[in-house]
Amino acid sequence: MNTVVEPAMSPRDRVLQTAEHLFSERGYAAVTLRDIADALGIKQASLYYHAPGGKEELFVQVTERGLERHRVGLDNAINEAGDGLRAQLYAAAGWLLSQPSINYGRMLQSDMPAISAHEAERLRVSAFTALIAPLQRAFDEGLADDSPAKAKAVHLAGAFLSVIEGVHNLPEHFLNGEPKAAMARFLIDTWLEGINHHSKTIQD
């Protein structure tokens, strides 16, 4: 959440990380180059050294970087979680909550239309590959062969992402001290077992 910028970090990484933090928080349109420069303690014009293409290039670089990190991280989290679907979803949720919020919905609806059509299309593909695809695989492999939900693993993946991102974006006072990861696990449990049949968290 609090993207701390480590002191020992390549200048380029500091710029990208700071920009990512702000874009992730408020979206493309609401962040100005001055906001980013101020957060870095430099002047707005200096950003053009790191991103000659200006705001759009900065956003595209930052978003691409974040999505690639998610693709790897989400894949790893799922693979290392072993065989059970529940454990894999717990791990995926844990990863997503450990990262700056992605806000897939805002990205598609608000941010993409604001940049050039060509770049937007590339990002849309990257976003699908990084966020939906790994989850889709988990659902597909984790579901019983005769489950009618198996054919709709993409939809389940999208819905899962929505739920976890929703938890991620929750304001603090909604939480009552409960950690977001616990809330995510509760929602995963109800979803796997059915809302009414859900009894308690089962380890597997």
For residue 75, which of 21, 17, 150, 129 has the smallest C-alpha distance?
129
Chain residues that interact with its own copies, rule: CB under 8 A: 25-30, 85, 101, 103-106, 108-110, 113-114, 124, 139, 143-144, 147-149, 152, 154-156, 158-159, 161-163, 165-167, 169-171, 174, 183, 186-187, 190-200
Chain residues that interact with DNA, rule: CB under 7 A: 10-12, 15, 31-34, 37, 41-46, 48-50, 52, 54-56
Residues 6 or more apart whose Cβ sits within 8 Å of residue 22: 31, 35, 36, 39
Longest Cα–Cα distance in the chain: 60
For residue 132, which of 152, 118, 117 has the smallest C-alpha distance?
152
Query: Tokens for 12?
Result: 């380029």
Binding partner of 133, given its own copies, DNA, none, CB within 5-8 angstroms per partner class:
none
User: Which CB, 60 or 153, lies closer to DNA?
Assistant: 60
Helix 133-142 / helix 54-80 crossing angle, nearest 10 deg: 20
Q: Are residues 130 and 67 in contact, defined by beta-carbon separation less than 8 angstroms?
A: yes
Residue 143 CB burial class (10 angstroms; 0-12, 13-18, ≥19):
middle
CB of 42 to DNA, least distance (A): 3
User: Which CB, 115 or 163, lies closer to DNA?
Assistant: 115
CB of 11 to its own copies, least distance (A): 28
User: Which CB, 31 or 91, lies closer to DNA?
Assistant: 31
CB of 66 to its own copies, least distance (A): 16
CB of 12 to its own copies, least distance (A): 26
CB of 20 to DNA, least distance (A): 15
HEC readout, 104-122: HHHHHHHHHHHCCHHHHHH
Binding partner of 16, given its own copies, DNA, none, CB within 5-8 angstroms per partner class:
none
User: Which CB, 55 or 180, lies closer to DNA?
Assistant: 55
